[in-house]
Amino acid sequence: MGRCWRKLRKSAKTSDIVKTYSGFKRFTRRLIWGSLILGISLSGIFITTDLTSHPWWENKSYIPNVLAAITGFLIGAPLALVILATFTNEREEKAVLDRVNGLSLTAWNAFRDLIDDFCSNERYEVISEHARDVHKYFDQAINAMDQYIELANQVLGTTSENDLSQSLESLREIEQKFRASINVVTRTFNFQTNDEWAQIIGSWRVLDQYVRLQRLEQGLEWFDKVPDSGFRRWMSRESNPLQEFLDSIEVRRYIADSSMGEATMRQAVGTLGAYVRMDALELGEYLLYYGNPFSKERSREYFILVEDARIFVLELKRLIGLVEIQNWPRGQTVAARDGDDRELTMHEWIGSLQTPEGEEEFKKLWKTVQAAKYQESLRRLPPGYTSGSYIPPGR
């Protein structure tokens, strides 16, 4: 009986009824088979008795009905147990699957929407245009003050001191444009990116640590490894390039004053604003004594931060797009089933060698390999070779 069941089980691997039956304990399975066999046996006995008109049935109505009920129970109860359990399991599995699919969609939509707000098109345009303008005006301020210092060194104490007024007016124009560009950046981001990034990381943890495990339990696919590794790389950081760029614009917390006056772009434009409100001669003397507070090194550092922030925003948008192209999770709502004819992995093949069937298959494979090697060795023998002797060609 066990051998027959194994054959049936092997030929119906995808049968839910067979899977349900296999899920019962051994005692329950034996009880089911015993009930079926007893019921079928009693049914055969009673049918034979009825056909032969055995006098035992005469003048009896209750006992035959009881026996018929017992026979029906012994046959029907095991079948109903397996079939009803199958329907119950299917309903429960579908309910769990629907819940996980709904949770996946909700968690992904929340994460995606947070990324979309964090990396909006407006913010990207501000980084690409106005943040670069800040860099441009910072460089112009460096060059203008170098020229002012050079001119002050030449004209102070001479009749050409009025030339400094024209240079000071150029500094005022640069300061106005410089400040306007910084205001556009700060007004757009409004210094909420720290809170936004914390929400994004929290949403990713829900998606990765909770939803991912639930999908794994149900055999549902996760999205591709490329966006997965990209999100893991960025979400493992406490800070991000966008926040680092904004910190270079303005830090709304206490920082030690920089003697160079350029710790942030806001501090730099504040320093420049103080200079342009000074008298031309006074500013010339001041800069000759203290030198230019703005440096090209700071300009390069700021430019790198701008480019890092711009690439970071594009990267997050790209990763979101890769997942959306896969139509995840809407397109992966059913568990992926491996086909029966798929090739075994190396680990599965090694493990199968421990079973009698696997050992037999290995012996067959070994014989095939040895036969192939023998045939190959025969093809490599020189012409004229015979067993026990060798006759060179031409003799």
Amino acid found at 37: I
Give mean pLDDT, residues 272-287: 88
Looking at residue 1, its pLDDT comes to 44
User: pLDDT digits over 77-88, tens only?
Assistant: 676 666 666 666
Query: Which of residues 69 and 24 earns the better pLDDT score?
Result: 69
How would residue 258 be classed by pLDDT, with cut points 50, 70 and 90?
A: very low
Amino acid found at 368: T
The token pair that represents 83 in the structure block: 């079939």
pLDDT over threshold 50, residue 13: no
CA angle 84, 85, 88 (to 5 degrees): 85
How would residue 190 be classed by pLDDT, with cut points 50, 70 and 90?
A: confident
Looking at residue 365, its pLDDT comes to 79
Of the candidate ranges 9-18, 83-92, 282-291, the one whose mean pLDDT is the lowest: 9-18
User: pLDDT digits over 381-393, tens only?
Assistant: 666 555 555 455 5
The token pair that represents 282 in the structure block: 């006074």
Of the candidate ranges 227-231, 236-240, 291-295, 309-313, the one whose mean pLDDT is the lowest: 236-240
Give mean pLDDT, residues 261-276: 87
Q: Which residues contact 78 (CB under 8 A, 6 or more apart)?
A: 31, 32, 33, 35, 36
pLDDT over threshold 50, residue 208: yes
Looking at residue 15, its pLDDT comes to 62
Looking at residue 371, its pLDDT comes to 79
User: pLDDT digits over 111-154, tens only?
Assistant: 999 999 999 999 999 999 999 999 999 999 999 999 988 888 88
Give mean pLDDT, residues 348-369: 73
Q: Please list the residues that pair with 386 across neighbouring strands.
A: 389
Q: Give residue for tokens 């298959």.
A: 361
- Tell me the CA distances in angstroms from 312 to 307, 350, 365, one per residue in order: 8, 45, 53
How would residue 206 be classed by pLDDT, with cut points 50, 70 and 90?
A: very high
Q: Kindly report the average pLDDT of the chain as a whole number.
A: 78
Looking at residue 90, its pLDDT comes to 67
Looking at residue 84, its pLDDT comes to 65
Query: Which of residues 340 and 137 earns the better pLDDT score?
Result: 137
pLDDT over threshold 80, residue 107: yes
Query: Which of residues 233 and 45 earns the better pLDDT score?
Result: 233
Looking at residue 290, its pLDDT comes to 87
Looking at residue 349, its pLDDT comes to 61
Of these ranges, 51-65, 138-152, 350-364, the one predicted with the greatest mean pLDDT is 138-152
C-alpha closest to that of 288 among 151, 183, 172: 151
Query: Which of residues 190 and 310 earns the better pLDDT score?
Result: 310
CB atoms < 10 A from the CB of 228, how many? 16
Looking at residue 340, its pLDDT comes to 47
Of the candidate ranges 30-44, 211-225, 248-262, 311-325, the one whose mean pLDDT is the lowest: 248-262
Of the candidate ranges 13-22, 29-38, 121-130, 266-275, the one whose mean pLDDT is the lowest: 13-22
Of the candidate ranges 71-75, 142-146, 371-375, the one whose mean pLDDT is the lowest: 71-75
Looking at residue 104, its pLDDT comes to 92
> What's the whole-model pTM score?
0.65
Query: Which of residues 358 and 285 earns the better pLDDT score?
Result: 285
pLDDT over threshold 50, residue 177: yes
Looking at residue 320, its pLDDT comes to 93
CA angle 315, 318, 323 (to 5 degrees): 130
